[in-house]
């Protein structure tokens, strides 16, 4: 299942890394497209698209991604 989804991610180590991240996202119900951006790029995307300043200090990537998903999909 995961192999079909990660064909576009490149080859070698990066493909294995992104496949692991995709599996993590599926387990926690996260959007992989948002998760793989990382905290700073998520903050920049939310600020640019929605004009909302997202606080990322002291939070892990899981919490930041959940907040961003709420903003994007609501």
Q: Which pair of structure tokens corresponds to residue 60? A: 């892990």
CA gap 2, 26 in Å, rounded: 10
Amino acid 1: pLDDT = 53
CA gap 62, 56 in Å, rounded: 11
Per-residue pLDDT of the chain (74 residues; tens, 9 = 90+): 556 665 666 666 777 788 888 899 999 999 999 999 999 999 999 999 999 999 999 999 999 999 999 999 98
Buried b (16+ CB within 10 A) or exposed e, 41-63: ebbebbeeeeeeebebeeeebee
Beta-strand ranges (E) seen in the chain are none
């Amino acid at each position: 299942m995961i192999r079909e989804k990660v064909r576009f991610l490149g080859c070698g180590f990066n493909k294995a890394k992104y496949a692991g991240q995709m599996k993590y996202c599926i387990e926690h119900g996260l959007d992989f497209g948002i998760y793989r951006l990382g905290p700073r790029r998520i903050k920049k995307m939310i600020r640019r698209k929605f004009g909302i300043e997202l606080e990322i200090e002291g939070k892990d990537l899981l919490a930041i991604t959940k907040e961003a998903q709420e903003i994007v999909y609501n």
